[in-house]
Amino acid sequence: MEAAGYIASLFIGVTLGLIGGGGSILTVPVLVYLFAISPTIAISYSLFIVGLTSLIGAFNNYRKGLVNFRTVLLFGSSSITTVFIARKFIIPFLPDVFFTIGHFKVTHSLFVMVVFAMLMLAASGSMISSRNIEPGERMNAKPARLVAYGFMIGLVTGFLGAGGGFLLIPALVLLMKLPIKEAIGTSLLIIALNSLIGFVGDIGRHPIDWMFIMLISAIAIAGIFIGGYFNQRVNSEKLKKGFGWFVLVMGIYIIIRETILN
């Protein structure tokens, strides 16, 4: 299964490079099901892998002038704080067993994977039914709305180890009026900061296999450059919808596996 895990790690990066998001949502399932890592540690590892991979992607976009630092500051102020608090002061104190229904125990690991699967279903719906988002479709970007949205992104990243690009990109286009390419580059930097700060909050909680997460990160980063190369040569919208269907199937599989097959 490990060979499949390394291939999937490359696929995560390729997807990020091709469509600017979505691939990171596969990181936790890949670590759990293909590398047999516990969900708790997988989320921690995912924060590092997603963070480092997104940082490289953000730097690539920065060189093209596609990162809006003012927006990074506005969203990051609330999301980064939320991620750090969640990882440092909330996650360590969650019980191993949340509650019991008869003989069925809802454990921390089960809860995380089911919620993660629900996030995958939401992300897949966004990718499958997505239409082109234009800056002209504007909402009122009040500071309170920006802080609230950053808080929500921080919760997604902090509790589930996913970047939340499928949530961020529409928000950056609609609320901050950014062009889609600039929204993608800005989103990658926000995701990188959120994820890496979240990982810092985890340091000291459990042993970290640095060689393993650096290897997976390197493979995913290679995938980003491969995806970026093909970005101008393939129809990214069709790819996004195809990937959305794949994420939908994976989300359903996780729910069945965790609740029925276990």
28: pLDDT strictly greater than 70: yes
Phi then psi for residue 180, to 5 deg, are -60, -40
Q: In this structure, are residues 219 and 225 in contact, taking their beta carbons and an 8 Å threshold?
A: no
Residue 101 three-state SS: strand
% of residues, the chain, pLDDT over 90: 18
- Within 13 Å and on the Cβ side, how many CA atoms surround 15? 25
- Residue 2 DSSP class: H
Top-ranked range on mean pLDDT: pick from 127-136, 142-151, 221-230, 233-242? 221-230
Q: Are 169 and 21 in contact (CB under 8 A)?
A: yes
User: Under DSSP, is residue 109 helix (H, G, I), strand (E, B) or coil?
Assistant: helix
Phi, psi of 64 (to 5 degrees): -95, 5
Cα separations in angstroms, 79 against 153, 184, 192: 6, 17, 11
**Residue 252 burial by Cβ neighbours in a 10 Å radius (0-12, 13-18, 19+):** middle
For residue 20, the model assigns a pLDDT of 63
Q: What percent of the chain has pLDDT over 70?
A: 89
The predicted pLDDT at position 128 comes to 82
Among 103-107, 173-177, 228-232, which stretch is predicted with the lowest mean pLDDT?
228-232
Q: Which of 111-115, 181-185, 239-243 has the lowest mean pLDDT?
A: 239-243
What per-residue confidence (pLDDT) applies to 138?
47
Terminal Cα-to-Cα distance of the chain (whole angstroms): 19
User: Can you tell me whether residue 204 is helix, strand or coil?
Assistant: coil
Which tokens sit at 77? 């102020």
With cut-offs at 50, 70 and 90, classify the pLDDT of residue 157.
confident
Q: What is the pTM of this model?
A: 0.84
Nearest-5° Cα angle at 122, 249 to 237: 75
CA distances for 178 relative to 5, 19, 99, 183, 228, angstroms: 35, 17, 44, 6, 20
Q: What is the pLDDT of residue 182?
A: 85
Task: Report yes or no: 15 and 22 within 8 Å, Cβ to Cβ.
Answer: yes
Task: Identify the pLDDT of residue 137.
Answer: 47
Identify the sign of the CA torsion 64, 66, 72, 73. positive
| pLDDT at residue 7 in the model | 92
